[in-house]
Amino acid sequence: MYKLSKYLVFTDIINPNENSSGHKRLLYSTRNGLSLVVSNEIYNNLTSNRQDLIESGYWQQLIDMQILVPIEEDEFELIINQNNANNINTLGLVLHTTANCQFGCSYCGQQHTKKNIDKVVVNMVLTYVEKKLQTGDFLHMFIVWHGSEALMSFDDLRKMSKQLIEIANKYKVSYHAKIITNGLSLKPTVFEELYFDMLVTNYQITIDGSKEFHDNRRMLKDGGPTFDIIINNIITITNQPWYPAGHKAIAIRVNIDKTNSGGIFGLIDLMESHGLQKKISIDYRPVENYVDNKFKDNHGLTKEQYAEFEIELLLYSLEKGFSIPDIVPERQYDACMAVVKDFVVLDIYGNVFPCYNFPYTNHKLESANKIGNLAFDESTFNQDGPLRNWYQEIATTKNACYHCNLLPVCGGYCPLKWQEGEIACPSYKYNIEDRLVLNYLYGKVDVREELLKN
């Protein structure tokens, strides 16, 4: 006996102008991230619990796609068990080389100081990594260079990369690295060294709209502009013969609120005029409150407003030929790094955190969630804070995520936001149907079309 899975999304009819006998909808199974085109008749039979009226030939596919699931199955428990059992054999480290940043962004919640990582802490980081790899539990190491602004201490980043790569080689572990940077110091020679010598293959650079919008919110600490330098860096880098365009190494992050939404289309046009659509990808996000900086409360769009605007942006970007990763989210086994015990943030003081939001802030949830400090033995570490136990919290509190049809692709998105008392849902909670249609029209990624007739 089978029942309709609770982890499904159906769109409205996607071809309303056709004869009603040919009406079809998209059906998205969040248990596996796959989409299917179904006839409206199958939709009606599924949602009215008349599976018996569906031709038996279609049953197997509905079962294979986990649209129909065994009647006795506890789907929530199964998803959480799969999440907990998922081991990607990866040691993940968000590393800082400095507590300094040249920028004074309007929405930043960090307090920067002109201090770089000490040699003593570098050695503690390397010892921590080596001890982890000695366990033999890992096949991969993934580094995210983060800050503050990682490139403000480039020499430390260079030395640490070399040493980390040596350790990875010694233990025959694959090495992958990404950097989150404001892009100001990312000159072509810096990029070339990062990419080819330090094996940094992914670059997240934030540009918050066209020049007048970006410079009004991502300015230097003294108020100076940054847009022209960053854009020039990106254009010069992506025009080099060695730039890995096919791999789209650079992702432009755009943080959006009421005050810059008018400047995003101009940025897209500018990037298109430089042929960047084939060389970079774009990642749109709503501005969030960042610890004590409640910029979003005063300037943010509502979740619904943002979701609606985002669809316009996605459509515009796709029409211009840009790549947008994850228009339709895939199955996600980790809400984020905070729930993964082998993924930690290490700041320049040796503090070990489960989440990006703690370094150089006075977060009220820090003491409950802090894992420890590298100066002390790992036996003193606390891996039992509320963020690490997020899935357990969903199960026991039966919060919104417990009841949500998007849980398998979302996981609760940002446990910290929920614990701060905010609604953490990603934009796709509010625009998933439009995203499914966009994906169908532009990407057709994983959209199957077998169940059109009945």
- Which residues make up the interface to ligand SF4 (CB under 6 A)? 336-338, 355-357, 387, 400-401, 404, 406-407, 410, 412-417, 424-425, 429
Residue 150 vs 173, nearer CB to ligand SF4: 150
In whole angstroms, the minimum distance from the beta carbon of 274 to ligand SF4 comes to 31
Residue 76 vs 191, nearer CB to ligand SF4: 76
In whole angstroms, the minimum distance from the beta carbon of 369 to ligand SF4 comes to 9
Residue 173 vs 291, nearer CB to ligand SF4: 291
Residue 140 vs 417, nearer CB to ligand SF4: 417
In whole angstroms, the minimum distance from the beta carbon of 74 to ligand SF4 comes to 17
In whole angstroms, the minimum distance from the beta carbon of 107 to ligand SF4 comes to 14
In whole angstroms, the minimum distance from the beta carbon of 431 to ligand SF4 comes to 11
Cβ atoms within 10 Å, residue 31: 23
Q: Tell me the Ramachandran region of residue 48: left when phi exceeds 0, alpha when psi lies from -120 to 50, beta otherwise.
A: alpha
Instruction: Report the distance separating Cα 404 and Cα 350, nearest Å.
Output: 38
Residue 9 vs 234, nearer CB to ligand SF4: 9
In whole angstroms, the minimum distance from the beta carbon of 411 to ligand SF4 comes to 7
In whole angstroms, the minimum distance from the beta carbon of 404 to ligand SF4 comes to 3
* Phi/psi of residue 183, nearest 5 degrees: 85, -5
Residue 44 vs 289, nearer CB to ligand SF4: 289
Residue 183 vs 415, nearer CB to ligand SF4: 415
